[in-house]
Every structure is written in C-alpha cells, then in structure tokens.
Structure 1
C-alpha cells in the first residue's frame, strides 16, 4: 500500500471536529440573541426609572412654585457610605427655567446641557462619557427637567447577567468534549465490532454478519454485505460443481479417445484403423459438444440478470437455429418446420437477450432432433405467450419427466451422443426471461412437447 496517500480520517474524529465547531457557533448565536434580549429588557427598566425620576422632579417643582418664587437648588451627594453600594456618579439630574437658568442640579447633572425644545430620550457624549438623557418640558413651559444615566451602568448589568452563563459554559467545555468523545466512541462501537468480526475471518468464511445488535443506520450496509457473501458463496458452489462435473464427465471421453488413438496408431489392419479413426472422430465431436454445453451452462448460471434488453425478433433466431441443426436433421432424415401465428398476432412478444434465446431454442431443437424417430419431424410452434418444440417420439414416462433437468443424465438406450446438460441450460435461460419450461405430450397423447412460456403446462404431461 502506498505510504504517500493521505491517511483516511476516522468517523469519530470527524464527529468531534463537527461538534467542536458547531457547539461554539451555536453558543455564540445564543449569546447574541440573549444579549439583544437583555439589552432590550435593561433599556426598558432603566428608561422607566428615568421617566419616573423626571416626573418626581416635576411634582416637586410644581409644589415649590405654588408656595412662591422658584430658586436655584443644588443637590448635595449624601455622606460617605450613605449610599450603600450605589454609584451616584452613574446618575444625573437637572432642571432649568424657561430662560435656561439652573433650578435644580446634582454634581453630575451640572454637566447636562439645557435644551429648550428637547423632549424625550437623547443619547449624547459628555466629556468622553456616553449618557442616555430624558428631557421633560413643563406643560406651561416654565421649566425643563432632565434625568440621565450612563450607558456604562447598563452595559455592566448586561454583561454581569451574561457572564453568569458564559463562564460556566467555558469551564464545562473540556468536560463536554470528553463526554462527546465517549458518546461518539460508544456510538461507533458497532462499526468496530463488525470490522473486528471481518478481520478475524479466514478467506473461506462467508457466513452472514449478525443483525441482532446492528444499529438501524448500519443495517443497509450489513444487509448488502450479507447479500454479497451469499452471491460469492453461490458463485463458489457453482465453480466447485462445474469443476467436479467437468473432471467427472471428461475423464471417460478422454480415456476412450486415448484408447482409440492407441488402436489407430498401433494396428496394421486398415479396416480396424478406419474403425478406430471413426470412433476417435465421434469422441472428439462428443467432447466438443460437452465442453461447449458446460461453458454455456456456466455462463447462464453465473448471470444474475439479463446482460441486455430489447424486443426479440424471432425470425433470425429461428433461421440460425434451423441452419445449425440441419446437418443432424439430414443425417437422421428429420423434417424441420416452424409454425408462425396468423397476423396480426406476434410470436411470443418478449424483451430479452437474443443470444441467450438462440441458445435456448437451439438446445430444444437439437434435443428434439436427436431423440425423434428417424424419418420423423420436429416442429417449432409459436403462440402469443409461449413457444413449443414438438417431435414424433414416444411420450416420456412419468419417472423420466420428474428427473428432466438433472445434469449429465440422459435416457438409457440412446444411440445419439449428448451431454445431458441441454435441459439445465434451457431452464436457466427461461428463468432469466421470466418464463417456465415444461415437458409433456401433445393433446392427443402422442409425441414429446417442450413448452417455454409465461405460465401454464403442456396439456397431456404425465
């Protein structure tokens, strides 16, 4: 494995990094929202206090005016310690007459400017200090009152409230990360368990992974892996069966070929040599057919679905199959024929693989030609939902019908060579196309009929 590639990042590390980024981000958003809300609440509270303070001064000035002439009043700060924990410099109070002459003020209020037309809240900066000032004019215009508070006092209250949330959160952040690391490790434990299960297996172990304690998020992956194990095991079984069948079936033809070759090579009798050469040629033909059939069976059994789909045109398929079977039919004097449905009916409309269907039809026609009585006939009959291949042979016995499709099994007493694989090949191709293969006799009880179609059975099947 190349050492230059980047090391894959673990799911646990990715999760922790995501949480490490997301948690402070969400917290910052929460702090922003809380700060805005606290700012609004604090402003409402202190603005109300300023309004009440200004109203109280108005009431006091009205009482003084009722008794006599207004005079300048300077409010002195209380004695040291008389205010408790209050900071009097954060507040200011002042009043002026209609001409701007001070009527009432405290040490901080003396800084406040008189504004003839000012009314309501005004934010201003005095000597580098930011203030929030509330101006209230008398109804008759005889005086103006201003109550003010530093913005710093409000900010201290807001940050004092928020620090009660910020500091504990920051102190708990390491503990939170440790808790998240532990939780993520626990959550990913099934992944490590599955990995350990797979690492501990040998190459021959294809048993399915247990699903009992698998989390729902991993079920699709584990299910897909189990399905893959099943397909691999099925493929291995097919390969083993194919190898065993090939070894078994090729042993006898090879021994016969070797024996005939020895006879042909060592005999001096021309007649005996010609006979051995004939047997040798027949053995080679049998081996050629056997190997071809075994390769075809291996191909169709390994297929999990059709390699291609298209509407099948049966005309070229039938023409090729008849051409391939013609030498055998001429040697046995078999008449080949094909019955097509009357237009506008179509012969077995089907989406499928023409190459596989040609193999299917060739095996059916070849078998029917080999096992038909010499001088008989073989007919391919197309129907709207099926095709039939018929010959004039004697009906098959019930026990033979039950064993059709067993590999390398051929009826006893046959003079024609064969491999015993044709029916197995036809069955597999039919299944791939959603069709069924059945054998039986004609409706009148004569002949042998092989039917491939969408459901249904041959009528007189034993």
Structure 2
C-alpha cells in the first residue's frame, strides 16, 4: 500500500532518486575506470616492449642463437612486471629469447602494434615491435584473464565503499527529512492543543518560507471563522434582546384583548398585536437574510433581471405604509442585465423598506436608474430627515441605529444592503440630498 505519510513519501522519492543516481554513477565509474585501466595496461605493454627492444639492440640479446636450447631467459626486474610475458623473435621466425612466464609458442604473428591473440587455451593482449636493422621482433603480452581480475579488483575497491555509504546516506536522508518537517509537526501540535474558541493567528515570522503560504491561508481561515463567530454571537444576542420586547408586548396586548369588555380597547390591542407581529417578522426575515448572505462563498451571475419588474414585485408584496407615494422611473423597465436575482432583490427590498420608514407623512420615494458604459447605477430618494454626516460611515454597520431611528427598525436594513452589494461586486453610496431634505442611496453594478 502506498504510504500517505509526507515524510515516508519524500524519503521514498529521495531514496529512489539517490539510488538511480548511484547506479548511473557506478556504471560510469565502471566503464570509465575499465577504459582508463586498459589504457594504462596497454601503455605498460608498449613501454615494456620498447625497453626490451632497446636492451636487445644494445647486445643483451642477439639473433645469432639458433637452437632451442640456446634460447635466453630474460631477467625479471620487478614484481610489477611479472604479469607480463616477453618474447624476442628473429625476423626469420626463430625464438631468440623469452621471459620465464612466456609460452614457447609465438604470442602473435600479426603486424606491429596491439592485438588480441589466442595462445593455447588463453587469450593474450599483445604488443609487437620490429627492428629490421637488428633483425628482431619483440612481443610483450599479458593474459586477458589476469587483466580482467585486475580491473575487477580495482573497480570493487572503488565501489564497495560507495555501497557501504548508501545505507548511511538513507539514514541521513531520513534524519534530515525529520528535521525539515519539524515546523509542520510543531504547527500540528499547536493546532491540536488549541481550544475551540482560540482563533489566534499562527506566527508567520518563525515559519520557513515554503510553509508561509499554508500559514497565511490558515490565518485567513481563522480570521473568517472569527468574523463569522462574532457575527453569530452578535445576531444571537441582538435577536434575544430585540425579540424579548415585541414578544412581551404581544403577550400584554393579548391579555388586554382577552380581559377587556370594551370593543374599542380590544380593537386597539389587536392592532398593536398585528404591528408587533409585523415588526417581529421583519426582524426574523432580516436575521435570516444576513445568515444566508454570510453563508454564500460566491455569486454566480446567471439571472437575467429587469429592475422595474423586481421593484413591482417588492411593492406588491410589501405595500408602503400610510399614504406614502412610490414613483418608479420608466428607465427602470428598459434596463436589463445579468446578475444574481436573489441578492439584488434582497438589496432593493431593504432599500425600499428603509426609505418608507423614514419619509415624512405623505412623503415620496423615488426610484431611478441610469446606464453609463458597462455600469448601471440605481438610485432611491426619500424626503425624510436624512442622516447626520457624522453617522453616514456607520449606518451600514450591523445593529447601528442613528439619531433619526424608526420605531419599526432594527438597524439591519442597510447592513444587509452592504452585504449584498459586496457579494454582487457593487458599490453602495449614501449622501444627503442637497436640493431638499432627505437621503439619496445609490447602488452601482457592473454589467460585464
């Protein structure tokens, strides 16, 4: 079974790679050493032949001796030369002299130079040199069997230490891998010993550069988890606080309606119950919307939308309170593009509800849109009190309720719009109207 251990897999890869390199190196050493040794041995044959030829020319051996019994035995000079066999022949084919280890048969009848000769049952490597002036031919050779043993022994002497080093090299690789992977083990131990609530970032400064991307990704994940948990705690605490009041009011008004004999009092209590239920329903819907947006990782822009149709649906399902006037520009019905319909509808619904809550009595909410190049800007104007300039950067924060807060609001509407805009890649902007009282909110989206 293939190991899943990173250390084991790295060790196998490095060990196999080292083994392959060692095999190639051994093969190279074998052939290179063999070639060099054979060249050295051939050079030795050549030098020995020239030396013997020189001695013979100087008179130590002459071709005047004709009988087999008169064949001279050449002296041996050193143990290094004992592997060599030497013969001196006259040019007319008579053996003049030979070394003690040389055979009586000729080592070769080939031309001068190197040749491989079969003498009896043995193969010889022979070098021949002739001197026509003295009438002699010198043959120097060594047995290929001895030469092969010499080469083999030499190569074994080189490779055996390398073979003994291989296990030590494997142990060294294992130890180095263990030390190299130590930061991962320390990181794993740190994460294992953490409590569930500990989202402290890992220390990047003490991390090897190779692990920095992993550590940064983990820290980014911790940050997202911490943000999600914080939002979850905020939503839970806010829901517990905000739902307590309307639920208590519902109970009180229900008790009043049950206990009262006055029809007008009962009607008023029931009307207040309806208002409380509406506010509670809106609060729950907004909390669920925030949870749904937070859970989305990305947005697929696959829906063809029409702004006028979306706003018609919003107004029909959530009609304005009182005598508020809602004006939709005709340009809204002419603009169609591709985006995420659910998120866009959620953003527009909360913008509409926010405007309705803050307009004055018999006030007006105006919707408009304009396309500029590849961008569409949606705007909504109300004639309410506006927002103090100091609070404009804060109103998109969760649960923020400013100076002109509505009794029916929860501080979540604009934060939902901001979340949806971020998911859509849109830009949300708020500013007080300069021509008259009220607030203008714009939502700019790219159609690319």
Q: State the TM-score, normalized to the length of structure 1.
A: 0.81
CA contact (8 A) 1:372 1:393 kept: yes
Structure 1 pair 390/137, CA: closer, same or farther in 2 (3 Å)?
Answer: same
The superposition leaves residues 248-287 of structure 1 with CA deviations (integer Å, 9 ceiling, x where unpaired) of: 1111111111122222333343333333222222222221
Cα separation, 2, equivalents of 1:68 and 1:363: 125
Match among 100, 125, 133 for residue 132 of structure 1: 125
CA RMSD across the alignment: 3.6
CA shift for structure 1 position 128: 3.9
Structure 1 pair 309/41, CA: closer, same or farther in 2 (3 Å)?
Answer: same
Cα separation, 2, equivalents of 1:374 and 1:102: 140
Cα separation, 2, equivalents of 1:172 and 1:419: 76
Q: Establish whether residue 269 from structure 1 lines up as the match of residue 256 from structure 2.
A: no
CA shift for structure 1 position 198: 1.8
Q: Establish whether residue 322 from structure 1 lines up as the match of residue 316 from structure 2.
A: no
Structure 1 pair 148/176, CA: closer, same or farther in 2 (3 Å)?
Answer: same
Which position in structure 2 is the counterpart of 1:369?
Answer: 356
Which position in structure 2 is the counterpart of 1:206?
Answer: 199
Cα separation, 1, equivalents of 2:73 and 2:134: 26
Which position in structure 2 is the counterpart of 1:340?
Answer: 331
CA contact (8 A) 2:61 2:96 kept: no
CA contact (8 A) 1:74 1:106 kept: no
Match among 243, 249, 266 for residue 236 of structure 2: 243
Which position in structure 1 is the counterpart of 2:345?
Answer: 358
Which position in structure 1 is the counterpart of 2:79?
Answer: 85
CA shift for structure 1 position 428: 1.7
CA contact (8 A) 1:75 1:107 kept: no
SS of the equivalent of 1:389 reads strand
Match among 280, 284, 287 for residue 287 of structure 1: 280
SS of the equivalent of 2:30 reads helix
Structure 1 pair 7/263, CA: closer, same or farther in 2 (3 Å)?
Answer: farther
Cα separation, 2, equivalents of 1:87 and 1:51: 13
Which position in structure 2 is the counterpart of 1:458?
Answer: none
CA shift for structure 1 position 402: 5.5
Structure 1 pair 321/75, CA: closer, same or farther in 2 (3 Å)?
Answer: farther
Q: Establish whether residue 74 from structure 1 lines up as the match of residue 57 from structure 2.
A: no
Match among 37, 46, 55 for residue 42 of structure 1: 37
Cα separation, 2, equivalents of 1:289 and 1:156: 98
Cα separation, 1, equivalents of 2:390 and 2:90: 128
CA contact (8 A) 1:329 1:336 kept: no
Cα separation, 2, equivalents of 1:236 and 1:118: 97
Q: State the TM-score, normalized to the length of structure 2.
A: 0.83
CA shift for structure 1 position 196: 1.8
Cα separation, 2, equivalents of 1:287 and 1:237: 23
Structure 1 pair 38/394, CA: closer, same or farther in 2 (3 Å)?
Answer: closer
CA shift for structure 1 position 180: 3.9
CA contact (8 A) 2:49 2:140 kept: yes
Cα separation, 1, equivalents of 2:321 and 2:210: 65
